[in-house]
Structure 1
Amino acid sequence: MTNNPQVIKLEFADLPVVVAGLGVSGISAARVLRGLGAAVTVVDGGSGEGLKARAAELEALGVAVRLGDGASLPEGTRLIVTSPGWAPDSALFAAAEAAGVPVWGDVELAWRLRKPLPATGEPAPWLAVTGTNGKTTTVQMLASILTAAGKRTAAVGNVGVSVLDAVLAEEPYDVLAVELSSYQLHWAPSLRPYSAAVLNLAPDHLDWHGSMEAYAADKGRIYEGNVVACVYNLADPATEALVREADVEEGCRAVGFGLGAPSPSNFGVVDGLLVDRAFVEDRAKNAAELGSVEDVNPPAPHNIANALAAAALARAYGVEPKAVREGLRAFRPDAHRIAEVATVREVAYVDDSKATNTHAAAASLAAFRPIVWIAGGLAKGATFDDLVQGAAERLRGVVLIGQDRALIREALERHAPDVPVIEAAEGQTGAVAMAEIVRTAASLARSGDTVLLAPACASMDMFTNYGERGDLFAAAVRELANG
């Protein structure tokens, strides 16, 4: 369904608004809308005890809550604000389309509630990032660079501070580093970032979007209305195609980033240095040094690309090269993102549990060799032939885990038939399962190898989430070291 981006202004006092979903973003939206005087009803198809407790908290604020009913549209509804995960083909949205009721996401609501800064009379600009992988790291790098430049900023959106809290903060931010998922972009028709980046595109969430074309189109929304720069990945032509299709402000430029020596208007790497040839005088002849690859933590190839994308957005905002270097040096990645846990008997153990799809796993596998790879879980409709074919020469062995392991095993049989494969026992979960997985991986590894947890799959068949999967991996490695 489509929303009308012309419906920009609404008076919220007494406006009948439905919030779809009683998760974190739904609760935040309901609180904000109620504070604006709207008549808020939250709907959620679930009915568990946790949801009942959340409902009671909102009801105390005057919010109506309907549990066990996420399909019907309450009579008189004028606006729906949806949580990101609600699919476009949900019955509630079909009813909204039939009734002519617009559907916004929390990002759209935040965009429309922005306040002007006293110094400029304009709202704080948004520097926005999306992509199949690397969004969180890039946005956090960008926030670190902006902080080093002396700006009051925050990493918001899918990470850090709630985007609604950020735009309504009592002490306003100068600029926001905004991570946006394809779900959030789908429901944000009027969003117009100052500058934006699409890091990469690979099949993901296709069950939600319906096709790769629809997924890419939603990602491409991030470029609409950009003012200074549309930042794209020189190694991923699909991102450049999205730039070409975007309707941007006059004077907005396409700025590429890549791991090679940059041509004019791009960012890249020369002799181990991060280089800007876009935001310099006479870029045909000159370049600005922004730092070195050693300033990037960790200096894996895909993470250097993330750093270049963050630097491009910061430079588009006017940040000086010195602050880029300082910000990258100050940045520390979140847990479960290519985190070296320990070296045990000359074998490195690396936790990249956040690699929950094939694109992320491919980037992780490209950073090491030889590798004992721990892979598997819930495939989410993915196929693994390209991943295995690209990594085959790096593999010492593979430990397969999880529900959809057969898909990876079959790809290994086709493209890496000589690589030893051991399948973890089925039926085990949690700490018991991970301890056995790590012991098995250790049995395959030799001195100088890396045991890499980069499963290329979701975790919920065996673990609560990717964080628990990574935490248990680290605990099992420490147990191995002490044993």
Structure 2
Amino acid sequence: MGSQEVSTVDWQGKHVTVAGLGVSGIPAARALHERGALVTVVNDGDDERARAQAAELEALGITVRLGDGATLPPSTELVVTAPGWQPDKPLFLAAAEAGVPVWGDVELAWRLRGDNGKKAAPWLAVTGTNGKTTTVRMLASILEAAGLRTAAVGNIGVSLLDAVLGDTEYDVLAVELSSYQLHWAPSLRAHSAAVLNLAPDHLDWHGSMEAYAADKGRVYEGNTVACVYNVADPATEDLVRQADVEEGCRAIGFTLGAPGPSQLGVVDGILVDRAFVANRQKQAQELAEVSDVDPPAPHNIANALAAAALARAFGVEPAAVRDGLRAFRPDAHRIEHVADIGEVAYVDDSKATNTHATEASLAAYDSIVWIAGGLAKGATFDELVIGAAKRLRGVVLMGADRALIHEALTRHAPEVPVVDLDRTDTGAMSEAVARAAELARPGDTVLLAPACASMDMFTNYNKRGEAFADAVRARADESA
């Protein structure tokens, strides 16, 4: 199916099982019911919130089964699942045995676009282990600067179903896609797509690195104009080679170095394009300055280049790339500068919940007091410490799995002073900031980049970042 074609399904009387209440399940159930499908929602949980959600759906005439997400309802012709449900759940095994297809919320949105009579907007899709949300928001900012009606949607927290079925008629959508969503999206065909990077993540869900990479690579299937890959991460280019794309679709690389033909890169502090120019063998088009990227950390410049490549693939002019990057402001807790105290910078990158993200964060600064620790999720830290050792002034560790990081530091950076906070209460963050301040010298950066999940101490990474920022601001007030 070409990327601009719209799939039509006769939903009237079709027996559809929706797996999971929640952000994607409820809109899916409503949309299918409105189109005449006979919808049954199954859900593992049976708590007070689930019962309230079920009551709202049942009032519409939708059947809901709580506490039993394992059994495939009789007569099911299609399963639509929330992206987080693992592929080896009994429900899906039963569906496979019965020959019943399984779609995710992204697949359903793809099939329903244009269903309400609006123009079906093309999708510019972004996936990768890290940087997806920032890149998609940068892309949307660039598209807006070009005067296009757009939205940043998908795994970013804005429902794709709401976008494609809402009242707004978009020119193009900037779509963030997780590996979970791509796994369940067999017919998705983007205008252009990017895989930013690949590192081990969610392997418990996918079963192996190979399966994880294969699901990420699905984003390239059927691309019509450009498959954007990371020159520094050959695995992303391998996925382009393996993809079945439409005739004329091009492989476009992005690099922090000088770009070759069909690449975007950096020359003397300038973001340049040698892909979407008349003579890419001899010409380069200036797009923006590195200083236009906020913050101008290396991994964030890479995000900007990927966003620029997708925008240029859609025909956006260079001035809009510059203006969109200048207008963009990063989300909280993503390399967010909190304060300068006594010539020491304090930076919140609580979103760095895995080693790959933390590696990029540590590479952005020359001399660092690193605050790290939390739930390791099976990660190992030797390579991270080896790469960062020369930049570390000191380290403050906290959280349930801090010993794993401490052991890696002992092996590979024994000269770096380490403060090990033997506590996992939320108040530990104030002590962590205080101890980091003692280690820091003028010109240093105290960097919260935990390389771990937050749930041992905090509700989520946002709360962890807020605790860090509150502790830093309190310290700034004391020193004022």
Q: Shorter-chain TM-score category?
A: over 0.9
**Pairing partner for 2:347 from 344, 347, 350:** 350
Q: Distance in 1 between matches of 2:388 and 2:38?
A: 54
C-alpha deviation, 1:50, in angstroms: 2.2
The DSSP-based 3-state class of the residue aligned with 2:24 is helix
Change (3 A) 1:117 1:14: closer
Paired residue type of 1:348 = A
C-alpha deviation, 1:53, in angstroms: 2.2
Paired residue type of 1:108 = E
C-alpha deviation, 1:404, in angstroms: 1.5
C-alpha deviation, 1:160, in angstroms: 4.7
**What does the per-residue CA deviation read over 1:340-360, in whole Å, with 9 as the maximum and x for residues that have no partner?**
011122211111011111110
The residue number in structure 2 matching 1:276 is: 273
The residue number in structure 1 matching 2:263 is: 266
Is residue 2:199 matched to residue 1:202?
yes
Paired residue type of 2:467 = L
**Pairing partner for 2:434 from 423, 439, 453:** 439
- Structure 1 contact 117–123 (Cα < 8 Å) conserved: no
The residue number in structure 1 matching 2:376 is: 379
- Structure 2 contact 343–442 (Cα < 8 Å) conserved: yes
Q: Distance in 1 between matches of 2:398 and 2:289?
A: 38
Is residue 2:478 matched to residue 1:475?
no
**Pairing partner for 2:357 from 345, 355, 360:** 360
- Structure 1 contact 116–124 (Cα < 8 Å) conserved: no
- Structure 1 contact 291–324 (Cα < 8 Å) conserved: yes
**What does the per-residue CA deviation read over 1:407-445, in whole Å, with 9 as the maximum and x for residues that have no partner?**
1111111111111111223242x3x22222222222222
The residue number in structure 2 matching 1:190 is: 187
- Structure 1 contact 226–249 (Cα < 8 Å) conserved: yes
Q: Distance in 1 between matches of 2:215 and 2:283?
A: 36
Change (3 A) 1:17 1:86: same
- Structure 2 contact 398–424 (Cα < 8 Å) conserved: no
Q: Structure 2 regions of 5+ residues with no counterpart?
A: 1-6
The residue number in structure 2 matching 1:70 is: 69
The residue number in structure 2 matching 1:82 is: 81
Is residue 2:169 matched to residue 1:172?
yes
TM-score norm. by structure 1 comes to 0.95
Q: Distance in 2 between matches of 1:208 and 1:444?
A: 40
Q: Structure 1 regions of 5+ residues with no counterpart?
A: 1-7
The residue number in structure 2 matching 1:3 is: none
Q: Distance in 2 between matches of 1:148 and 1:382?
A: 40
- Structure 2 contact 8–112 (Cα < 8 Å) conserved: no
- Aligned-pair identity (%): 74
Question: In the comparison of the two structures, how many residue pairs are matched?
Answer: 472
Q: Distance in 1 between matches of 2:367 and 2:449?
A: 14
The DSSP-based 3-state class of the residue aligned with 1:139 is helix
Q: Distance in 2 between matches of 1:379 and 1:465?
A: 14
**Pairing partner for 1:289 from 286, 291, 301:** 286
Is residue 2:325 matched to residue 1:328?
yes
The residue number in structure 1 matching 2:244 is: 247
**9-18 vs 449-458, which moves further:** 9-18
C-alpha deviation, 1:314, in angstroms: 0.4
Paired residue type of 2:82 = S
- Structure 1 contact 138–310 (Cα < 8 Å) conserved: yes
TM-score norm. by structure 2 comes to 0.96
C-alpha deviation, 1:116, in angstroms: 7.7
Q: Distance in 1 between matches of 2:455 and 2:157?
A: 23
Q: Distance in 2 between matches of 1:114 and 1:319?
A: 23
